[in-house]
Amino acid sequence: MNDEAQALRKPGSAGSRLKALIRSSEIDTRMLTMVMVLIVLWLGLHMITDGLFLTARNLYNLAVQSSVVSIMATGMVLVIVARHIDLSVGSVMGFTGMVIAWLQVDIFTLGAAWNWPLTILLGLALGGVIGAWQGYWIAYRSIPAFVVTLGGLLMFRGFAFLVTDGRTVAPMDPTYQLLGGGIDGSIGAMWSWVFGIVAITIVALLTWQNRNSRSKHGFTPKPIVMELALLLLWAALIIGFVMVMNAYTKPRTDIPRGIPVPVLILIGVVIVMSLITKVTSFGRYVFAMGGNPRAAELSGINVKKTTMMIFMIMGVLCGIAAVITTARLNAGANSMGMLAELSVIAAAVIGGTSLAGGVGSIAGAILGAVIMQSLENGMVLIGVSSAMRQVVIGLVLILAVWFDTIYKKTR
C-alpha cells in the first residue's frame, strides 16, 4: 500500500507518467470515469441480455430514445449551474407539443407546405415565451425557481389538457414525421458518411486551430502524439457511430437507415449549447453566477437578464423536444413529457452537474442521459417491470450524487 503510494509519487514511474499524460491531454478525469461507467454498463447489459443490447437495431433505438431527454438536459445544465432548477420542463414540453399538434392538424391547412415549418417556429417561440415568463418571476421578482417552476409544472400540464380538452390530435404531416426518426426518419448511408467525414474534418480543424492559437501566445501546446491520438479516437468514434447506424436496415429490405434525424437535431443542439457555454460571455456569466452570485453582480454582470435568458433557452429546448416527441408519436397527447423533468434533472446530475451550482458540462449531460436511457432500455430488454425500473433509476440518481460528493472530497 505504502510502496504503491510511493511509486505513484516517484517521478518517472509509470503511475506518475500516466497521470501526467492525462493531465497534458486535458481530459477531464471525471468524464473519463463516466465513459468507463457507460462502457461497463453496456458490456454488462449485453451479457445479461444474451447479446441483444449491443446490436445495431438496439443502439439505433437507444440513440433516438436518448435524444429528447438529452436535448432538454443541455438546458438543464445551464439552469442548475446558475443555482436554479426547472421542474416544469416536462409540462412545458407537453404543452408546446399539444399546441404544435393542434395548430398543425386542427387549425392550419392540412398538407400545406408552410404548415409544419410554421408550427415548429410557433412551438419554439411559445417555449421561449414560457421560459421568459418563468424567468421573469425568478429573476425580477425574486421568487425561488423551485416555486415558480413547480407552479409551472402544474399550470402547463393543465394547459396541455385544455388545448384540446384532453383529445389526442393526429396524424401529423408526413414530412414532419421524419423529424421523429421513424422508418424514413434517417438520412441514409451516403449522407451519414458525408456527415461523418465533415465531422472528422471539423474536429481536425478545431484541434489545429487551437494548437496554433496556443503557440501564438507562447504557451506550450499539448504533446503532438497526444493530440493525434485524441483525434484518432474521435475519428474512430464517429466512424463507428456511422457504421452502426448504417448497419440497421429498414424492415424487410437491406437499405441502411443511417443517422436518425432526432440524433442530428441533438448534435446540432449540443454544438450550439457547447458554444454558448464555452465561447460566449453569456456562458461565462452563467458559470460565474453559479460560483458566486454576488461576485457576478459586482463584476457588472446583469444577473437578472442572464437568469431570464437561461430560462428562455430552456423553454426553446423544451419546444425542440416537443417537436421530436410529436413527430415520433405522430400525434399530440396531453400526457407527453410526464415525469420528464425527473429524467432531465437526473441526466444533468449523473453527468456531473453539481446541484450546488457553478459546475457542469453539456457533454456530461449527454453522457448522463445516455447512461440513464441505456439502463432503462436494457431493463426493458431483460423484462424488468416498469415499477422496478423506477426503483433502479431512483437509486442510480442517489448513487450519482453520492459519487459527486465523494469525488469532490477526494480531489
Identify residues 320-359 at the interface with other proteins (CB under 8 A).
Answer: 358-359
218/383 with CB nearer other proteins: 218
Stretch that binds other proteins, among 10-18, 245-253, 282-290, 342-350 (CB under 8 A): 282-290
CB 248 within 8 A of CB 185: no
Q: How far is the CB of 218 from other proteins (least distance, A)?
A: 7
CB 74 within 8 A of CB 365: yes
Closest by Cα among 145, 160, 189, 130 to 338 = 160
Name the β-bridge partners of 169. 332
128/358 with CB nearer other proteins: 358
Chosen residue from 36, 39, 205, 279 binding other proteins by CB under 8 A: 279
CB 78 within 8 A of CB 308: no
Chosen residue from 19, 167, 222, 284 binding other proteins by CB under 8 A: 284
Cell of 192: 451519414
Q: How far is the CB of 79 from other proteins (least distance, A)?
A: 16
Helix locations, 280-385, DSSP H: 281-291, 293-298, 303-329, 340-350, 362-382
Collapsed DSSP state (helix, strand, coil) of residue 100: helix
292/405 with CB nearer other proteins: 292
Based on the shown chain and the rule CB under 8 A, indicate whether residue 365 belongs to the binding site for other proteins: no
Based on the shown chain and the rule CB under 8 A, indicate whether residue 278 belongs to the binding site for other proteins: yes
- Per-residue contact flags (x/-) with other proteins for residues 187 to 226, judged by CB under 8 A: --------------------------xx-xxxx-------
CB 273 within 8 A of CB 220: no
CB 342 within 8 A of CB 86: no
Q: How many CB atoms are located within 10 Å of the residue 390 CB?
A: 13
| Number of shown-chain residues binding other proteins (CB under 8 A) | 30
Identify residues 83-142 at the interface with other proteins (CB under 8 A).
Answer: none
Based on the shown chain and the rule CB under 8 A, indicate whether residue 288 belongs to the binding site for other proteins: yes
Closest by Cα among 317, 336, 335 to 327 = 336
Q: How far is the CB of 365 from other proteins (least distance, A)?
A: 17
219/387 with CB nearer other proteins: 219
Based on the shown chain and the rule CB under 8 A, indicate whether residue 364 belongs to the binding site for other proteins: no
90/290 with CB nearer other proteins: 290
Identify residues 386-405 at the interface with other proteins (CB under 8 A).
Answer: none
Q: How far is the CB of 288 from other proteins (least distance, A)?
A: 4
Based on the shown chain and the rule CB under 8 A, indicate whether residue 370 belongs to the binding site for other proteins: no
Q: How far is the CB of 279 from other proteins (least distance, A)?
A: 4
Helix locations, 140-260, DSSP H: 145-164, 174-177, 188-216, 224-247
Chosen residue from 33, 201, 280, 385 binding other proteins by CB under 8 A: 280
19/167 with CB nearer other proteins: 19
166 CA to centre of own chain: 29
Closest by Cα among 345, 356, 353 to 293 = 356
Collapsed DSSP state (helix, strand, coil) of residue 168: coil
**Residue/partner pairs of 232-237 with CB below 8 Å, 24 or more apart:** 234/200, 234/203, 235/200, 235/203
Identify residues 290-309 at the interface with other proteins (CB under 8 A).
Answer: 290-292, 294-302
Q: How far is the CB of 354 from other proteins (least distance, A)?
A: 9
Q: How many CB atoms are located within 10 Å of the residue 163 CB?
A: 22
Stretch that binds other proteins, among 96-104, 134-142, 257-265, 280-288 (CB under 8 A): 280-288
304/389 with CB nearer other proteins: 304
Helices 261-279, 56-81: axis angle to 10 degrees equals: 30
Q: How far is the CB of 284 from other proteins (least distance, A)?
A: 6
Tell me the C-alpha distance between 375 and 128, whole Å.
Answer: 32
Q: How far is the CB of 404 from other proteins (least distance, A)?
A: 14
Residues forming contacts to other proteins in the complex (CB under 8 A) are 213-214, 216-219, 275, 278-281, 284-285, 287-292, 294-302, 358-359
